[in-house]
Structure 1
Amino acid sequence: MTRSASLPFYMRALLLLCILLSPSLHAQEMDARIMQLFPKATRIEPKLEQPPVYSVFQLDELIGYAFESNDYSNLQGFSGKPIRLLIGMDPQGVLAGVQVLEHHEPVFLHGLGERSLLDFVDQYRQKTISKPIIVGGRQGAAEGESVTRIDNVSKATVSVVILNETVLLSALTVARQLLEDFASSPLATPKMDVYEPLEWSQLLERGLVQRWTLSQEEVEAAIGHELDGYPQLDLDQPAFTDMYFAYLNAPIIGRNLLGEAGFQRLSEELKPGEQAVLVVSSGTYPHVPEDFIPATAPNRIVLVQNEHAIELHDMNFNNGAVLDVLNSPIEEAEANVFRIKAHAAFNPAESTQLRLIAQLQRNHLVENNASFTRDFPLAPELFDILEPVEAAKPVPIWLRMWQERWWQVSLLGLSLIVLTGVFIWQHRISRERRAFHLFRAGFLLFTLVFIGLYAQGQLSVVNIFTLLLALAKDFDIRVFLMDPVIFILWSFTFVTLFIWGRGVFCGWLCPFGALQEMLGWVAKRLRIRQWKISERTHLRLQWLKYLILIGLVPVAFYSLTLAERLAEVEPFKTSITLFFARSWPFVLYALALLGLGLFVHKFYCRYVCPLGAGLAVLGRLRLFSWLKRIDACGKPCQHCRNHCEIGAIRRDGRIDYDECIQCLECIVILNNEDQCVASISARKKAYKTGKQTDLIATDAALPST
């Protein structure tokens, strides 16, 4: 007998009714949400199959479309799952609004709160998709006719960038299929067999490289003021802007400008469907400012096609030294190779303009803006005209994250190389006791301030849940590449687990652990009396963190959301990620754990941390036991054990690597003769032996009587 057959008749009838009504209930809920986006709507048509949109009418007038992002984008959020959105857009390409239908982003669920997410998506209301929408940057830096900037959410950069890409990709896909102004014409691809060697002057003469000189008088006429009133401008330059620009995908242009090797490298760096343009400028107002950040979008220039702005992205080609590979007589200028992303649907055979936005600051209160446009014609004979093919794949956001955080990645990588060297040459380094202690203090400060508070590199047991779930289902490494700092730290921690054990992370790279250790320094300075915990109690309390881990792992497979909430046993998010900007229960809990650390050294690390427990389990597979022991350790010498504040040295002198945080203090003691009791005893014994030998020799030298 089946389970359903054992149910009473009325229960089976109710269950059947719920099944039948569920599509209707879902439709009613969706209609209610669409009405919130279009308050004037009187009729909502059922969802179309192609393209999958809801048409929204006021009487018989079409006032917009509503669509779900998951029908157009599969970009995964930081949690490893897509952010599901409902997007409304009118027939002119203006967003009526964005609603969050479903998300699993931890920073909003259990950190900043969902109000921050709702406030962020509210910014899309009445924003047109004819301009690129960019998250963050200087507010208003490129407003007006070029791009639209919306506020970032501090501590949630990855999540909101992915959400923004999801909105734009979905909206542009719908617009190109349904809105006349956004319909894409037949595409043009460069003819790869059209090539002849040309010099710079010949490229200019044939219009393959174009020059645009904008005089200071033209700018003054546009803004209605003389440029002498703008103190930041260098008016000694011969022109306001002297610019050269060229389309690089065409071999007759790209190969001649960059050379064979440079053009080949450019082709390899461009993704399918992407295009590149070269811009070189000098003068009072070049196309990028002095503080321009490589691998980002410029705020002074933009391409315009069919009255829609197309954003440019710096490729950081040749590490920014574009002039070094450019076959031109130009020696001093700003030069960049810009990427046009595939979803921009740029058609080089169509009429295109290059627009320069001049933002001139008179003082800290007054700014004058003006824009100047120049045609960007390209010869039709350079291209094959093709019918549109299927939409390009979404831009890999993880790559942008790495490019934007390149200096953080570099600094973190350098610090990990230094730390690796410390562990490899630990005996040589530890001989200088004072220098080693200063180095460790400095490294822990770096871990807390840079890795933790600035780069947001606090690892968590939640990361383990995400990895386990990804391995159990469809593993996609791009999810983990979204945050380069976290990815690098996890990779380094995972590798060193099997070499040195858990201590490399717990003792050197954990920001919360570093904070606890610094509190230990404060306790010593204030002479706070430490609580004595018996060895028996200490050994029992150590099991608490393993019990917490055992409880969290199966919950994660049942419900990741529930596991993330239970993982609040970790105070990391409160103290490091959000720096105590949370509701008072979370702050009180974190402060209580830190307060206990004043009386019991690293109380949380020793007895509560489930992340440390998980690393300790994996650390049992380590290849080496690097911490040197000698015969006297524990038999009878207890000096290292008494100085081990974490309690990881047993009475017989052995190291408990499951608990050891690899602070290397025992190695410092061992390698300093004025610290190691065995060395001191050996030296005293040698001294006594040598003294007795001298006495015997003296007696032998005396004349006999």
Structure 2
Amino acid sequence: MTRRASLLFRLLVLLSVLASPTLFAQGLDGQIQQLFPKATRIEPKQDNPPVHSVYQLDELLGYAFESTDYSNLQGFSGKPIRLLIGMDTQGVLAGVKVLEHHEPVFLHGLGEQPLFDFVDQYQQKSIGIPIVVGGAQGGASGSESIARIDGVSKATVSVVILNETVLLSALSVARKLLEGFASGPLATAKPDLYEPLDWSQMLQRGYLQHWTISREEVERGLGHSIEGYLGIEPESDTQPFTDLYFAYLNAPSIGRNLLGDVGFAKLNEELKAGEQAVLVLSSGMYRHVPDDFVPATSPSRLVLMQNGHAIDLYDMNFNNGAVMDLLDAPLDEVEAQIFRIKTHSAFNPAEPAGLRLNVNLQRNHLVQSSTQFTRDFQLDQQLFNIEEAQIAAEPAPIWLRMWQERMWQIGVLVVSLILLSAVFIWQHRISQHSRGFHLFRAGFLLFTLVFIGLYAQGQLSVVNIFTLLLALGENFDIRVFLMDPVIFILWSFTFVSLFIWGRGVFCGWLCPFGALQEMLGWLAKRLRIRQWKISDRRHQRLQWLKYLILIGLVPTAFYSLTLAERLAEVEPFKTSITLLFVRSWPFVLYAVVLLGLGLFVHKFYCRYVCPLGAGLAMLGKFHLFSWLKRIDACGQPCQHCKNHCEIGAIKRDGRIDYDECIQCLECIVILNNDDQCVASISARKRADKAGRHAHGELIATDAMAPQPLPAP
């Protein structure tokens, strides 16, 4: 093997090791260790629910789990945010770590550190109370406190989705594994239903279950004789292997009859809300708890089964273990315990269930045999109030909450769009007032820059097009686009206006960066900066640049969204509008250079570089109306509108290039004002001249007319 081949082989081996699931698991275990510093053992991920159990020696510290196993919420990029979440046994978050994300504002804008700082706030937050992003600190709603965490400026949608992902995932785990988060049983014992019954009557009605397991049954289960196992004496052939009684105690007709009034009242005092209790008594060779059973622990031999799930029982150490002192039972030499069923187990006493006895017999410290037996039972449903399954009221969808929180911004934006539409509809009437129209346009552009752009973060981007195209190609979910109401409303209005008036409604009126460029144009005029003259031929060639950029970006998005988002930095919107120039110097320099060029070439970026404008222009080709008024004199010979069109969208023959027009309506103002339109001025001059000529001829005619003779 040559040296080069050897190096290549080693590289392939290294890559295979790095890509192996084992190494990834080790890396994930390292992340979990950071969430639980005291952990000494991290169990492999279990299936239901998918969590890693984390221990310190034999003490359960909590659980670690990945958000993508519980939530499919898509981030602002259209991809889920993948998180590792740690939670202790009380529902307190040990911490959150970001494993993977595609949020543009963090990848290519603010940087990832604000995201990491944001998730650090979850440490030691309890999911038992609402966790809300932003708002007033320390707020409360009635007696229910609210945990508030600081948001990230310029990334509101991303962090709200992340918060929703954390809560949805953590609550899903808590409802399955933690006490106090699962709903209580759907059947509760009728508190007033009581009938005095003795031991034999309760056995007859099935209130008290009796279960006997013979030695022969055990030997058939094991497949061999139990002779010689520890605890099995030869003379025990005549007694049952296990003789067991059990009863559900929450029903007064059972619990009160077994424990007496005092004992039943004491039981109810010790049970927490939603908890249930069962009595178990046994005798024989193999009892339900071993001789060395530790009170107040869970028995290894006994488990309750329902719907295929095991429900753990917990010894209450009731009456300090002297349960038999309370019972009036015709039994001798029996073991008795009362076990607690915790609320999170969601045991339904009115549904079929089973009691399972795990048999573990030991011959010596090396040889052990095991089997299990289950006794199915069904309690009388007349003992219970059967409740309909309560469907928990789902919280309002996250997108709806975003709309509710930004309602006043939505209202202001909608009113401004209605006003803009009115201006376009009644443009000829409004444009007759030249000064008033120019003041309105200046005010609207200022509103676009300050409110829509800097405050409401409504700067549309070609990245939005990427997200839409990718969503259409996969599982389209309109909720992703509803997350940001301002962006959604602007895109909806822009899309509709494209097919009515063309691209110019957005580019000339609603683009914050476009408004900023136009204001720089005003500044250039004030400072009397000489504008660079670009010939018509060169202007038309330069226009193709933005289309080439768009053609390069769109296919890249299907290959790699991350790469496409990086290339989309050709747009300076994020630097100048979203982040207000608070960014690393190369991005700031690039944006400043583009704005600087706008001082010498009106709206340089919009005309020659903007891929978003190119995309809108391509869709705008299908506009219904060529509604900008032209007259016969336009271009033949009048060039006044063309010379005043700073964007260069009027051809020499007077036609409007709607693909490039930003619809500033300056040409309409000129046409509708007799003191600006050259054709109107010329017509007025000709009319004046004709009027003066006619007036002169009339005077001359009057002078040549015969005069009347004077009276004698």
- TM-score when normalising by structure 1: 0.69
Which position in structure 1 is the counterpart of 2:674? Answer: 673
1:176 is aligned to: 175
SS at match of 1:99: strand
Q: What secondary structure sits across from 1:46 in the alignment? A: coil
How far did residue 18 of structure 1 move?
Answer: 3.4
C-alpha separation between the residues in 1 aligned to 2:59 and 2:516? 62
Q: Which residue of structure 2 lines up, in the alignment, with residue 386 of structure 1?
A: 388
Report how far residue 142 of structure 1 moved.
3.9
Q: Structure 2 CA distance, aligned partners of 1:188 and 1:458?
A: 55
Q: Secondary structure at the match of 1:65?
A: strand
What is the SS of the residue equivalent to 1:163?
helix
Contact 1:497–1:619 (Cα < 8 Å) also in 2 = yes
The structure with the larger Rg is 2
Distance 1:142 1:572 in 2: 38
- In the alignment, is the contact (CA less than 8 A) between 1:545 and 1:613 conserved in 2? yes
Offset of 1:633 from its aligned partner?
A: 0.5
Look up the match of 1:324: none
Cα deviation, residue 11, structure 1: 7.0
Q: Deviations over 1:139-188 (max 9, x none)?
A: 23349972211111111111111111111111111111111232321369
Which range is displaced more, 171-180 or 662-671?
A: 171-180
Q: CA deviation at 1:664?
A: 0.3
Could you tell me which residue of structure 1 aligns to residue 685 of structure 2?
Answer: 684
Rounded to whole Å, the distance in 2 between the matches of 1:130 and 1:659 is 56
Q: For 1:22, which of 20, 23, 33 is the aligned residue?
A: 20
1:562 counterpart residue number: 563
Per-residue deviation, 1:704: 4.7
Give the Å deviation of 1:469.
0.9
Task: Give the match's secondary structure for 1:149.
Answer: strand
Q: 1:392 to 1:166 in 2, by over 3 A?
A: farther
- Do the aligned partners of 1:169 and 1:394 also contact (CA within 8 Å) in 2? no
Task: Give the C-alpha shift of residue 21 in structure 1.
Answer: 7.1
Cα distance between partner residues in 2 of 1:501 and 1:84:
40
> Does structure 2 retain, via aligned residues, the 8 Å contact 1:186–1:386?
no
Q: CA offsets, 1:609-646, max 9 Å, x none?
A: 11001111111110111111111011111101111111
Q: How far has the Cα of 1:25 moved from its partner?
A: 2.2
The alignment partner of 2:98 has SS state of strand
Once the 2 structures are TM-superposed, how far is the Cα of residue 26 of structure 1 from its aligned partner? 2.3
> How far 1:474 moved relative to its partner?
1.4
Partners of 1:446 and 1:70 lie apart in 2 by 41
For residue 27 of structure 1, what is the amino acid of its counterpart? A
Counterpart Cα distance in 1 of 2:31 and 2:79: 22
Q: Per-residue displacement from partner, 1:23-43 (whole Å, max 9, x unpaired)?
A: 222222211111111122111
Aligned to 2:494: 493
1:134 aligns with 132
Which of 94, 97, 102 pairs up with 1:96? 94
Q: Count how many residue pairs are aligned between Structure 1 and Structure 2.
A: 509
Secondary structure of 1:182's counterpart equals coil
Contact (CA 8 Å) 2:139, 2:145: kept in 1 or not?
no
Q: What is the distance in 1 between the residues matched to 2:57 and 2:33?
A: 14
Residue 394 (structure 1) shift: 7.1
Q: 1:683 to 1:81 in 2, by over 3 A?
A: same
Q: Note the alpha carbon deviations across 1:433-472, whole angstroms, 9 max, x for none.
A: 0000000000000000100000000000000111111111
Matches of residues 331-342 of structure 1 in structure 2 within 5 Å? none
TM-score under structure 2 length normalisation: 0.68
Partner of residue 634, structure 1 = 635
Using the alignment, how far apart are the partners of 2:615 and 2:18 within structure 1?
46
Helix, strand or coil: the match of 1:386? coil
Tell me how far apart the structure 2 counterparts of residues 619 and 123 of structure 1 sit (CA, whole Å): 46
Q: Is the 8 A contact 1:185 1:388 kept in 2?
A: no
| Gap regions ≥5 residues in structure 1 | 1-6, 190-304, 308-344, 348-382
Question: Which deviates more, 395-404 or 452-461?
Answer: 395-404
Relative to structure 1, the CA distance from residue 396 to residue 611 in structure 2 (aligned partners, 3 Å threshold; closer, same or farther) is: same
Aligned to 1:256: none
Instruction: Determine the C-alpha separation between the residues in 1 that align with 2:187 and 2:667.
Output: 69
Q: CA deviation at 1:584?
A: 1.1
One-letter amino acid of the structure 2 residue matched with residue 161 of structure 1: V
- Alignment partner of 1:110 is 2:129: no
Shift of 1:306: 7.5
Q: CA deviation at 1:93?
A: 1.1
Q: In 2, Cα distance between the equivalents of 1:100 and 1:610?
A: 32
Does residue 156 in structure 1 map to residue 155 in structure 2?
Answer: yes
Change (3 A) 1:306 1:481: farther
What is the rounded CA distance, in whole Å, between the counterparts of 1:106 and 1:89 in structure 2? 29
Q: CA deviation at 1:127?
A: 1.3
Alignment of 1:54-453 (within 5 A): 54-142=52-140, 146-186=145-185, 385-387=387-389, 395-453=396-454
Tell me what 2:33 maps to.
35
Residue 696 of structure 2: aligned partner: 695
Q: Check whether the contact 1:605–1:612 (CA below 8 A) recurs between aligned residues.
A: yes
Per-residue deviation, 1:689: 1.5
Q: 1:535 to 1:473 in 2, by over 3 A?
A: same
Q: Identify if the C-alpha distance between structure 1 residues 592 and 13 changes in structure 2 by more than 3 Å, giving closer, same or farther.
A: closer
Query: Do the aligned residues in 1 keep the contact of 2:499 with 2:620 (CA within 8 Å)?
Result: yes
SS of residue in 2 equivalent to 1:137: coil
Q: Report the alpha carbon displacement of residue 420 of structure 1 after superposing the two structures with TM.
A: 0.4
Q: What CA distance in whole angstroms lies between the structure 1 residues aligned with 2:186 and 2:692?
A: 96
Contact 2:444 2:509 in 1 (8 A): yes
1:677 Cα deviation after fit:
0.3
Deviation at 1:532, TM superposition (A): 1.5
Match of 2:609 in 1: 608
Q: What do residues 210-244 of structure 1 show as CA deviations (whole Å, max 9, x unaligned)?
A: xxxxxxxxxxxxxxxxxxxxxxxxxxxxxxxxxxx
Following the alignment from structure 1 to structure 2, what is the Cα–Cα distance between the partners of residues 166 and 112?
Answer: 21
Amino acid at match of 1:46: P
Aligned to 2:328: none
Change (3 A) 1:601 1:16: closer
Sequence identity of aligned pairs in percent? 78
Higher deviation after alignment, 502-511 or 12-21: 12-21
CA contact (8 A) 1:431 1:672 kept: yes
Equivalent residue number for residue 513 of structure 2 = 512
The equivalent of 2:322 in structure 1 is none
Secondary structure class of the residue paired with 1:101: strand
User: Where in structure 2 are there 5+ consecutive unaligned residues?
Assistant: 189-271, 275-343, 347-384, 707-712
Query: Given residue 413 of structure 1, which amino acid in structure 2 is its aligned partner?
Result: V
**Partners of 1:98 and 1:121 within 8 A in 2:** yes
Measured in 1, the distance between the counterparts of 2:18 and 2:701 equals 114
Q: Distance in 1 between matches of 2:48 and 2:444?
A: 57
AA aligned opposite 2:165 = T
What displacement does 1:50 show?
0.4
What amino acid sits opposite 1:656 in the alignment? D
Provide the rounded CA distance (Å) in 2 between the counterparts of 1:157 and 1:609.
26
User: Which AA in structure 1 matches 2:514?
Assistant: G
SS in 2 for 1:601: coil
SS at structure 2 position matched to 1:681? helix
Following the alignment from structure 2 to structure 1, what is the Cα–Cα distance between the partners of residues 388 and 23?
A: 45
Give the match's secondary structure for 1:555: helix
Please give the alpha-carbon distance, in whole angstroms, between the structure 2 residues aligned to 1:17 and 1:663. 58
Shift of 1:702: 3.4
Cα distance, 1:135 vs structure 2 = 1.0
Native 8 Å contact 1:94 1:128 kept in 2: yes
Q: Secondary structure at the match of 1:124?
A: coil
SS of residue paired to 2:20: helix
Give the secondary structure class of the aligned counterpart of 1:474.
Answer: coil
Change in Cα spacing, 1:12 to 1:108, as seen in structure 2 (3 Å) is closer
Work out the CA distance in 2 between the residues paired with 1:21 and 1:694: 98
Instruction: Summarize the alignment of residues 475-490 of structure 1 with structure 2, pairs less than 5 Å apart.
Output: 475-490=476-491
Instruction: Report the Cα offset of residue 60 of structure 1.
Output: 1.4
Describe the shift of the 1:57–1:662 C-alpha distance in structure 2 as closer, same or farther (beyond 3 A): same
CA RMSD of aligned residues (A): 2.7
Task: Tell me the amino acid that sits aligned with residue 454 of structure 1.
Answer: Y
How do 1:540-555 and structure 2 match up within 5 A?
A: 540-555=541-556
